Amino acid sequence: MRLAIVASHPIQYQTPLFRELAGRFDVKVFFAYRATPRDQAAAGYGVEFEWDNDLLSGYPFTFVENKSFRPGLKHFFGCDTPSVAAELAQYRPDAVLVLGWNLKSYWQAIWAGKRARIPVLVRGDSQLQTPRTAIKRAVKSFIYPVGLRVFDAALYVGTHSRRYWEHYGYPRQRLFASPHCVDNQWFASRATPDARAALRATYSIPASAKVVLFAGRVVALKRIFDLLAAAELLKKRGINLTIMLAGSGPLENEIAAAAAAIGTRLVQLGFCNQSQMPGAYAAADVLALPSDSETWGLVVNEAIASGTPVVVSDACGCSPDLADGTAGLTYPTGNVESLAAAINQLLKFPPSAAELASVAARHSVRAAADGVEAAMKACLSRGKKNLPA
């Protein structure tokens, strides 16, 4: 089988899946945009950087010429690749997988596939919980039940993702599970006791300290102040936390001032590139993700793969799948009392290594690739049945 994958740009979370698929059959990835360090800073990281792990090895790829007058990833016309149709025709895939539909490039690939009568698959993490205006919801309720059927198969990444497709009446027999994933083994092999001890020593964190980690962009929608408020509540009850911040962004100084005001120790690691993250997870006792809007939250996958339990707000797309009481807990977004209680519970009664590993295994690169392969085979089988005698 031959699969064409159309992606916006190289993303560290997608690379392991591309490599896994390339090990199963003929794969080629078509990128619409090459992100710059300045793009990374504009995305909310606060600093310009390049990812320090290789995102382009282990699978064939090409960058399609982007004709956009204003290239970028934040608006529909930022990726305009009219030559993708010719490139797909030259590659002659059995199926096309697009990783969304929010960019013009995706639709150029979709229509190219439909014109060539090639099955078009889609994988994404859209969910109904994402804040939308009433007008947008009304328009989608009218268009999506018909429009989404342009895809021959849809790959859902989790519970909320599946509900999204079901809400718009997408045929269930064309839905396939392809869970959001990270390279579990990569994180597990690096989040070691030695890594824990080394990072704690670097920042003079005692071995007995209870450390809660936040990992991500330091921006308002992440609700990091809720985490500080929860630490203040626990401090009043005799439970002292050290809050560790792995990330950068516009609120760093405000968060430092708020932590100082309540007398909670804040360890600011600043922006951490990918190679630094396993050590941060290893040094923590709990990862907290208190966001008020998060389509998934792949840092939660990373933490669990590293052996660290998680507390996740119910606004995060991953909450019913990764924080269901086995590897972690979910709490109502913005409820500081519940956040504090969940952190305290995990500190007292952490999940076992086996429980964490079982959740990680359900959200593995292999499981995600299995879904893509199953969807592709189903589409090709369906196409053969519909061929004229």
Report the topology of domain 2-181+364-385.
Rossmann fold (3.40.50)
Q: Give the gyration radius of the chain's Cα atoms.
A: 22
Q: pLDDT grade, residue 48 (50/70/90)?
A: confident
Q: Is the pLDDT of residue 389 over 60?
A: no
Please check whether the two domains, 2-181+364-385 and 184-362, share a CATH topology. yes
Sorted by where each begins, the domain ranges of the chain are 2-181+364-385, 184-362
* Sign of CA pseudo-dihedral 2, 4, 5, 9: positive
Secondary structure class of 322 (helix, strand, coil): helix
pLDDT digits (tens, 9 = 90+) for 142-161: 899 999 999 999 999 999 99
pLDDT digits (tens, 9 = 90+) for 93-115: 999 999 999 999 999 999 999 99
Q: Average pLDDT, stretch 11-21?
A: 96
pTM recorded for the entire structure: 0.93
* Residue 371 near residue 157, CB atoms below 8 Å: no
pLDDT digits (tens, 9 = 90+) for 226-258: 999 999 999 999 999 999 999 999 999 999 999
Give bridge partners of residue 243 from the DSSP assignment. 212, 266
Q: Residue written as tokens 């392809």? A: 178
Residue closest to 317 by CA, chosen among 281, 285, 289: 289
> What type of residue is 317?
G
pLDDT > 70 in the chain, percent: 96
Q: Average pLDDT, stretch 274-303?
A: 96
Computed over every residue of the chain, the mean pLDDT equals 94
Q: Determine how many CB atoms are found less than 10 A away from the CB of residue 90.
A: 7
The reply to whether CATH 3.40.50.2000 applies to domain 184-362 is: yes
pLDDT of residue 388: 40
Residue closest to 376 by CA, chosen among 193, 113, 186: 113
Torsion from C-alpha of 6, 9, 10, 14, nearest 10 degrees: -50
Secondary structure class of 306 (helix, strand, coil): coil
Residue closest to 187 by CA, chosen among 351, 3, 19, 356: 356
* Residue 285 near residue 350, CB atoms below 8 Å: yes
Dist. CA 8–CA 156, nearest whole Å: 18
pLDDT digits (tens, 9 = 90+) for 346-373: 999 999 999 999 999 999 999 999 999 9
Q: Is the pLDDT of residue 183 over 50?
A: yes
